[in-house]
Amino acid sequence: MAQSDSKLAGVERAGASGNGRSFWGRLLTSDLYQAVSAVLFKTQRRRFWLLASFPLFWVVFAHLGPILRMFWISFLDSYPPTAGTVPQLTLANWGKFFEDAIFVMPYFRTLGFAFVLTLSTLILTYPVAYFLAKHVRRNRQMLFLLILLIPFWVGEIVRTYAIMILLGNNGAVNLILKFLGLIDRPIPFMYTSFSLGIGIIYLTSLYMLLPLYSALEKIPNTYLEAAADLGAGSWTRFWRVTLPLSKEGIASGCTLVFLISTGYYATPVLLGGPSTTVFAETIAGFFHVAGDQWPVGAAFASIMLITTLTAAAIFLKIMGRSGKGMME
């Protein structure tokens, strides 16, 4: 009898864990929980705001907050505040930018670099993406993308160092050129805009390749065949069919590469030289000295942020896209 009782209890327990008295079941039926949730989830509206409160707080406070704070600091005459003084509002930090070529030059150089590098990355990776999407077998494509992601995951510093080894005076490129008898003395690639360009393309090319690939891969082969049947040559097919249909990929790839390449700091420090000082280095300079240059740094960073985001927005507008789907 006792045995069958415990057996029954066992069955009941096993059943209960499925629908009632598991941890969650106990939680749901406990008085305290019911009392609390009755208050919290009383109305649909209250539930919505409960769910919304933290995400809204987070994106406004933590995502927008630092940017707004930076803008605010850029209008103060001193920051971090020193004891006993009240910071005054001023426009001098923003004005400083226009006063000296030492500041203006890196700014335009950065934008010029970013523009040229974005274009070169596009030209370099387009054939790669096209070949991958149209001429490589399907399962091979996946494999290729997978191995492609390995260098992509490795950080900025490690990859920059890899480029230093490649291009140094005793680097692999100089060794090969010397071996081939093309040069007697090593070519000084390093600390020039060439080494910086190679490095940044190395870092950013995948941000271009992936959007291009996914756009090209979607173009049905039948479109190209139809164009060919109607007498279009290979160039016409490219200009009239492939290129327009890959516009989305070009737009998001270029935007990403542009924004990312303006933001590099360590790479220009390590690969560039005095003649390639970029704006990121200028900005960083204000944060290395004792605190009182922060407002100027903040103003310069604001100038750069406004410029890059505006440029990206204009570009996306020209390409006929809203910024909405950019992250996909």
Q: How many CA atoms lie within 13 A of 114 on its CB side?
A: 26
Q: Are 223 and 241 in contact (CB under 8 A)?
A: yes
Q: Is 319 in the site for another protein (CB under 8 A)?
A: no
The CB-of-5 to another protein minimum distance in angstroms stands at 28
Phi, then psi, of 264 in degrees rounded to 5: -70, 135
Q: Distance between CA atoms of 288 and 268, rounded to whole angstroms?
A: 17
Of residues 66-85, which lie at the interface with another protein (CB under 8 A)?
66-67, 69-70, 73, 79-80
The CB-of-304 to another protein minimum distance in angstroms stands at 6
Q: From residue 104 to residue 133, what is the string marking binding to another protein with x (rule CB under 8 A)?
A: --------------------xx-xx-xxx-
Q: From residue 13 to residue 52, what is the string marking binding to another protein with x (rule CB under 8 A)?
A: ------x----x--xx--------x---x-----xx--xx
Q: Please identify, among the stretches 4-12, 83-91, 99-107, 276-284, the one whose residues bind another protein according to the rule CB under 8 A.
A: 276-284
Q: Is 265 in the site for another protein (CB under 8 A)?
A: yes
Residue with smaller CB distance to another protein, 251 or 298 = 298
Q: Of 75, 103, 107, 294, which lies in the binding site for another protein, with binding defined by CB under 8 A? A: 294
Task: Return the number of other C-beta atoms located less than 10 Å from residue 77's C-beta.
Answer: 15
Q: Of 2, 3, 55, 229, which lies in the binding site for another protein, with binding defined by CB under 8 A? A: 55
Q: Are 254 and 114 in contact (CB under 8 A)?
A: no
Q: Of 54, 100, 229, 318, which lies in the binding site for another protein, with binding defined by CB under 8 A? A: 54
Of residues 130-159, which lie at the interface with another protein (CB under 8 A)?
130-132, 135, 142, 144, 146, 148-151, 153-159
Residue with smaller CB distance to another protein, 159 or 321 = 159
Q: From residue 225 to residue 264, what is the string marking binding to another protein with x (rule CB under 8 A)?
A: ---------x------------------------xx-xxx
Q: Of 65, 95, 112, 244, which lies in the binding site for another protein, with binding defined by CB under 8 A? A: 65
Q: Distance between CA atoms of 182 and 174, rounded to whole angstroms?
A: 10
Q: Is 219 in the site for another protein (CB under 8 A)?
A: no
Phi, then psi, of 308 in degrees rounded to 5: -65, -40
Q: Of 63, 137, 138, 185, which lies in the binding site for another protein, with binding defined by CB under 8 A? A: 63
Q: Of 4, 43, 139, 170, which lies in the binding site for another protein, with binding defined by CB under 8 A? A: 170
Q: How many CA atoms lie within 13 A of 175 on its CB side?
A: 7
Residue with smaller CB distance to another protein, 104 or 156 = 156
The CB-of-264 to another protein minimum distance in angstroms stands at 6
Q: Is 273 in the site for another protein (CB under 8 A)?
A: no
The CB-of-303 to another protein minimum distance in angstroms stands at 10
Residues paired with 89 in a beta bridge: 76
The CB-of-171 to another protein minimum distance in angstroms stands at 7
Q: Is 204 in the site for another protein (CB under 8 A)?
A: no
